[in-house]
Every structure is written in structure tokens, then in C-alpha cells.
Structure 1
Amino acid sequence: MNFEIITELAHLECVCQEARQVPAVMLDTEFIRTRTLYPRLGLIQMYDGDTISLLDPIELENLLPFWALLADESVIKVLHASSEDLEIFHHHAGGMPTPMIDTQIMAAFLGHRLSTGFAALVNEYLNVVLDKGEARTDWCARPLSAKQLEYAAADVYYLLPLYNLFTESIEQAGWREAVQQECELMASKRGKISDPEKVYLDIKNAWQLKPKQLAVLRKLSSWRLKEAQHRDLALNFVVQELNLWKMARFDIRSLEKMMDGGFNHFELERHGKHLISLAIEVDNMPDSRYPKPIERLINFPYYKQTVKNIKVQTNAVAKSLGIVPEFISSKRQVHQMLKWAWIHEQNPDKIPDLLSGWRKNYFEEISLPLLKK
């Protein structure tokens, strides 16, 4: 493999302009993520079928030509297992690659599990064994070794023949439109921005709390998210999730009780007094501003039987289509549909995945009767 390392803006403009002349460009990213909220971008790999370009985001002044390529709707952007790549693009460019195709999704429509890795598919379809020994490289360190660069280049070099093979099979199977819909669905989910006022709903065991306690948790978790975004620090490195829950559950309002509750030294020293002040704000809040208790699907008496019935239907559909059941209907998607039916009263603005897009034809008729209370 021959590749170019792009460290200057003029060179970047040139390779991006060339890439905009082809129908599809192969993309991948390398990054590290330890204590930060957002991934730290270390390398971007691009292959237009002629040139492999390794873009160095640490050396480059800016990446505007590349962001423009991502937005060029005349060029398909091809990735594999793209969820974290999409998160990176959305954070740095403010948008998603459009249009985008994920070969992991293509493979799922061809009968593979959604978790099937790139190396396994390259081995099966191209009879090439990829060396994955550099997977845990610090991609933000410089200089990168020749072996690291070759590893990165291989991820886009072999992506092109894999994409071409999958495209032919997908066309023959009649899944082209469904693949596009699934890729757009993934991009829309990865592009969603967390609502600070709703992140408390994702805190483990939040359902155990009463309305006032939930109001405290909402206040604290909203502050934590904003602090994490401001400092680009992983949420639990601001304050551990469990400690927010403890403050809400046990009405902790002093540094002494925080210490007794297991808060670490850094949490107490940097944020202890502020967390207490936020909790006291909620103490002075009228009851009318408390959140409603969290409804759990498992508490509905017909939950287990309904899930079982949906699973039976999913397995039947999957068998008929030659697709693994968990790709057609994941546990999260089943729960999304049950919440829509039982908690959100079938709100038309919250149509679940199983009743929209390509899945609608297979699930609407059989699922709606199962959702009646």
C-alpha cells in the first residue's frame, strides 16, 4: 500500500478535491478516549480508489476542506462500524457525512451479526488477514511509526473491495433502500445532543427516587453534563454517577455527609459546596416543579408476556429474511416501542424504530395488536 501523510492545508485541499470527483470515498478515524468527554482525534484515513490519504489533525491548521467533503451529497462516504466516527464528525464538523453507508450494516443485511468486525469480514470475503496489533496505539502521539501508519491505511484500503462486494449482494437481495434508511437512522441517533434537563433519566436506579429526589438528581446531573462539556471531561471524572444518586436519595446537604457517603477528595474539594447549593435550591422549589415518578416497563403486569410474544414474531421474521433477530429488533428497540405504546400513549412524534422505515412492513401488522393493554 502506498499512502500520503497530509500535514499541510494546501495538500488537504488537493486530495479532498480529488476525492469529490469519485462516486464513493472510504473513511476511517483513529482516536483516543480516556478521561475526555469527546474523543481526541488522532488520524483520519481516506481512500478514493486511487490515493490513500492519512490526514493528520494534530499538524493541520484546519480541516475545512475535509468537512466540506463530508457534506458533499454527490459522494458516498463509506465507513465500517461508524458510530464513534460519526460522533467525532458531529463534534468537530457540526454535521454528519451525507450520504453515508456503513459496511457493518450492509453485512447485517447479508446475515452477519451487527457486531461483526472489519478484520473478520476482510478475512472471510477477501481472504486477507489483517494485523490488529496496533489497535491500542496512542494515535495522538507523534511521530507515528511506519507500522502504525500501515495499520491505519489498511482499514480504508480493504474497505473499498469489501464495499463493492457488499453493494452487489445488497442490490441482488433488494436491500439497497433499507440499508440507506438504517444508516440514516444511525446517523440521526449519533447526532442527537443530550438534553441537560433529561440526562437524569439515564442515571442508574433513578426509578427508585421520589419526585423531590428526582428533582435533585435532575439538577445535579444537568450541572454535571454542562461542566463535563465545558471542561471536555468524562462525566464520572467530574462527579461519579453513584454519588449524584446518593445526594438525591439520602438528602445529603453537608461536606461531612458527602465524605461519609464515599465522595472522593477531588469531588469534595472542587465541587462539594456547589453541589450542596444546587440541592438546597431544589429544597426551596415548589412541588409543582418536581418531575413525575419514572415508570418502568417491567412494572406493567403484561410486560414479560408481551416481550416474549414480540420475540417470537421477531424470530419468525428474521428466519424468513435470513437476518439475525437482534439486528431486526434489539432489546432497546423493543423497549422503545413499549414505551411509545404504554407510556407515551402512541405519540405520533415518538414513532419507534420497529414501526417506521424498512421495519414497518414487517412489524406494524403483527406488533400493534400485541401492544394493547
Structure 2
Amino acid sequence: MNYTIIKDTQTLAQVCEKARLADVIMLDTEFVRTRTYHPQLGLIQLFDGEQLVLIDPLEIDDMDAFSELLKDQSVMKILHACGEDLEVFQHSFGCIPNPMIDTQLMAAFLGHGLSTGFASLVNEYLSVELDKSESRADWLARPLTDKQLDYAAADVYYLLPLYQQLLAKVEDKGWLTAVQQESNLLISKRLKTSDPELAYLDIKGAWTLDPEQLAILKVIAKWRLLEAQKRDLALNFVVKEANVLEICRLKMASLKQMNEAGFDHREIRRHGNTLIEMVKQGLDTPQSEWPDKITRLMDNPAYKQLFKRLKDEVKTVSETTGLATEFLASKKQLNQFITWVWMRNRSEEKLPDVMRDWRKNILGDVLNGKMD
């Protein structure tokens, strides 16, 4: 396994120009995401069947040639479990690999669990044991060790033969179009931008608050999201989610209350007065503008029995298709479907996953029939 490390703009341009002549290329990234809102890119791996390169984005000033490769419609990009990689590309280059196929999704169409790891598939299909000990390494530190570089290169070197085997099997079973549809669905989900006005709905436990408390939460959650994005800081490093909920529940009006609740002193010192002002702002919100009380599906008396009935249908389809139940329809996707029927009157503009693309014919129409 021979690879080249790319550290300058000119060599990168030459590599990308050659890669754009290939039908498919293998891509992967190494990044760090501990305290930051956005993933911090440390390394890019690229393999086009001939040239295997490790691109160092910390050394290269102009990455335009790589961005153009990502956007080149004539080159299919292959990645594995690429959800976070898509975020990395979008944040770092303002674009994503397109067109793209995820080999983890290909494996799911062959009966593997949705979260089957790369090393497990390489072992099963290529009989190669990969060393994954560097997966938690610091990819922003320099110099990178030989062990890190070998680990990173292997991720795209073995991705090519794995993809080729999976492709043959997926085509044989007639799932290739579905694989592309599912890859596109993954893209649309991972790149959906967060609406600050709706950030309060993402706070766990928001359903426990009454409308007045939700008015406070809406103000604080919006500020917290914008602050995290501005400072590139993970949300809980701005203000812990549990603390946000407690502030709203008690309508905290003093730093003393925050101290007594056991909040981190640094959090109080940095944001305490701001949070108190936002509590006041929330309390000043006219009642007509308070958010509606959040209702949970599980609080509906009919929910438990309905969910079980739908789950049984998913299991039946799983047995006939060979696809894992959680891949056909996860709990979240079933709840999305129930919400679509109960609260959105089966809106054609807001179709749930099970009523779109490949899932509709083999599962969605069956589930829809069980709702009448």
C-alpha cells in the first residue's frame, strides 16, 4: 500500500485533475470534534484506483481543485458511513461529494445492520483485519505518525475492492437505484440547516414545560445555537442543556438561583446575566405568541397499540426482503410516519421517509393501509 502525502496547492491540483478522469473515487476524512460546533478537518484520503493520496488541509492554502473534484458530476464518490464526513466537506469547502454512494448503505441492502462498521465489512468480504486503534487519534496534531498515516490510507485502499464486491451484489439483487435514493436521503438529512427559531424543539425534556416556560426556552435556545455557531463551540459548552431546561422550569431571575442549582461557576460568570435577561424577555412575550405545549405521540392512548401493529408489519417485510428492521423503518421513522398521519393529514409536501422512494412500494403503502 503505497501512498503520497500532499502538502502544496500545485500537487493537489495535479492529483485532482487526474482523479477527475476516473469513473469512481474513494474518499474519507479524519477530523476532530470534541468541544467545537463544527468538525475540524485534519486529513483527507483519496484513492482513484491508481493514486492513493493523503491530503493535508492544514498545510494547503488553496483547496479549490479539491472542491471542484467534489462537485464534478462525472465522478462517483464512494464513502463509508459518511454522515459526519458530509458535514466536514460542507463546512470546510461549502460543498459536498456529488454524486455519492455510501457503502454502509449498500451493505444494509444486502441484509447487514445499518450501523455495520467498515472494518467488519472488510474482514467479511476481503478477509483483511484492519487495525482501528488510531480512530480516536488527534488528527490536528502535527506531525502525524506513520501509524496514523497507514491507518488513514487503509480506509480508502480497501474501500475500492469492498465497493466493487458490494456493487456486484447490490446490482444482482436489483437494489442499485434504491442505494442511490438512500444516499441522497442521507445527504438531505445531514445537511439540513438548523432553524434558530425552532431550536427549542431539540431540547430534551422540552415537552415537560408549559407554554410560558416554552416562551423562555425559545429565546434561550435560539441564543444558545447562534452563540455556538458564532464561537464554533459545542452547544453544551455554551450552556449545558440540563441547565437551560432548569432555568426555564424555575424562571430563574438571579445568579443566586443558578448557584444554588449547582451550575458551573464559569457558566454563570460568562452567561448568567445574559440568561436572566432572556428569562425576562421570555416572560414579556405576549401570551398569544407563546409556543404550543409540546405533545408526545406516546401520550396518545392509541399510540402504543398502533406502534406495535406497525412494527409487526415492518418485521414481516423484513422477513420477505431480507432487510434489517431498523433499516426498513427505525423507531424515529415510524414516529415520523404516525405524526404525518395524525397531525399533518397525510400532507404530500411533508412525506415521511417510509412514503418516499424505495420504501413506499415495499413498506409505506402497507403501513398507510393499517392507519384507516
Same fold (TM over 0.5): yes
**1:193 Cα shift?**
0.7
Whole-angstrom distance in 2 between the partners of 1:27 and 1:187: 15
Q: Distance in 2 between matches of 1:368 and 1:134?
A: 46
Q: Say how many residue pairs are matched.
A: 372
Partner of 2:249: 249
In structure 2, C-alpha distance between the alignment counterparts of 1:368 and 1:175, rounded to whole Å: 23
Contact kept? 2:22, 2:48, Cα under 8 Å: yes
Give the 5 Å matches for 1:69-88.
69-88=69-88
The offset of 1:289, in angstroms, is 0.9
Corresponding residue for 1:326? 326
Residue type matched to 1:192 in 2?
K
Partner of 2:214: 214
Q: Shift of the alpha carbon at 1:96?
A: 1.9
SS at match of 1:340: helix
Look up the equivalent residue of 2:49 and give its one-letter code. Answer: G
Where 2:60 maps in the other structure, the secondary structure is coil
Q: In structure 1, what is the Cα distance between the partners aligned to 2:271 and 2:329? A: 42
1:262 partner SS? coil
Give the letter for the 1:304 counterpart: K
Q: CA deviation at 1:34?
A: 1.0
5 Å matches for 1:62-211?
62-211=62-211
Alignment of 1:12-51 (within 5 A): 12-51=12-51
- CA shift, 1:371, in A, is 2.6
Written as runs of structure 1 = structure 2, the 5 A alignment for 1:211-290 is 211-290=211-290
In 1, are the aligned partners of 2:217 and 2:282 still within 8 Å (CA)?
no
Q: Deviations over 1:210-237 (max 9, x none)?
A: 1110010111011000000000000000
Residues in 1 aligned to 2:301 and 2:363: alpha-carbon distance in whole angstroms: 23
Q: CA–CA distance in 2 between the matches of 1:283 and 1:131? A: 55
Mapped partners of 1:365, 1:229: distance in 2: 40
3-state SS of paired residue (2:196): coil
2:278 is matched by which residue type in structure 1? Answer: L
Report the more deviating stretch, 173-182 or 114-123. Answer: 114-123
Q: How far apart in 1 are the matches of 2:239 and 2:62?
A: 33
SS at match of 2:233: coil
User: For residues 213 and 347 of structure 1, what CA distance do their matches in structure 2 show?
Assistant: 30
Distance in 1 of aligned mates of 2:348 and 2:261: 43
For residue 56 of structure 1, what is the aligned residue in structure 2?
56
Amino acid at match of 1:240: K
TM-score (norm 1): 0.98
Are the aligned partners of 1:354 and 1:363 in contact in 2 as well (CA < 8 Å)?
yes
* Unaligned 5+ runs, structure 1: none
Residue by residue over 1:159-196, the C-alpha shift from the partner in whole angstroms, topping out at 9 and shown as x without a partner, is: 00000111111111000100000000000100111111
Look up the SS of the partner of 1:110 in the other structure. coil
Question: Shift in Å at residue 37 of structure 1?
Answer: 0.8
Mean alpha-carbon deviation: is it higher for 81-90 or for 91-100? Answer: 91-100
SS in 1 for 2:129: coil
Whole-Å Cα distance in 1 between the matches of residues 26 and 365 of structure 2?
A: 39
Q: CA deviation at 1:47?
A: 0.2
Instruction: Compute the displacement of 1:344 (Å).
Output: 2.3
CA contact (8 A) 2:215 2:283 kept: no
Question: What is the CA RMSD across the aligned residues, in angstroms?
Answer: 0.9
Map residues 1-20 of structure 1 onto 2, 5 A cutoff.
1-20=1-20
CA displacement 1:66-94 (0-9 Å, x = unmatched):
11111111100100010110111111222
CA distance in 1, matches of 2:164, 2:272: 56
Alignment check: 8 A CA contact 1:37 1:235 kept = yes
After superposition, where does 1:347-366 map in structure 2 within 5 Å? 347-366=347-366
**Using the alignment, how far apart are the partners of 1:350 and 1:95 within structure 2?**
25
| Alpha-carbon distance between aligned partners in 2 of 1:285 and 1:151, rounded to the nearest angstrom | 54
SS in 1 for 2:370: helix
- Counterparts of 1:285-300 in structure 2, within 5 Å, are 285-300=285-300
How far is 1:301 from its partner?
A: 1.2
Q: 1:218, 1:244 → 2: CA distance? A: 10
Partners of 1:343 and 1:205 in 2: how far apart?
21
- Spell out, residue by residue over 1:41-84, the C-alpha distance to the aligned partner (whole angstroms, 9 max, x if none): 11000001001110101111032111111111110010001011
| Cα drift, residue 347 of structure 1 | 2.4
Q: Report SS of the residue matched to 1:45.
A: strand
Give per-residue Cα distances to partners, 1:7-48, cap 9 Å, x unaligned.
100111110111100000000000111111111111000001
Structure 1, 254-263 or 167-176: larger mean CA deviation: 254-263
Q: Within 2, Cα distance between the matches of 1:307 and 1:95?
A: 38
- How big is each residue's C-alpha offset from its partner over 1:86-120, in whole Å with a ceiling of 9 and x where there is no partner? 11111122222111000000000011111111111
How far does residue 135 in structure 1 lie from its aligned partner after superposition?
1.4
Q: Is the 8 A contact 1:206 1:214 kept in 2?
A: yes
Report sequence identity in percent: 51
The one-letter code matched in structure 1 to 2:201 is L
Give the conservation status (yes or no) of the 8 Å contact 2:318–2:328. yes
Cα distance per residue 1:329-353 (max 9 Å; x no partner): 1111001111111122322221000
Q: How far apart are 1:155 and its partner, in Å? A: 0.3
* Counterpart secondary structure, 1:60: coil
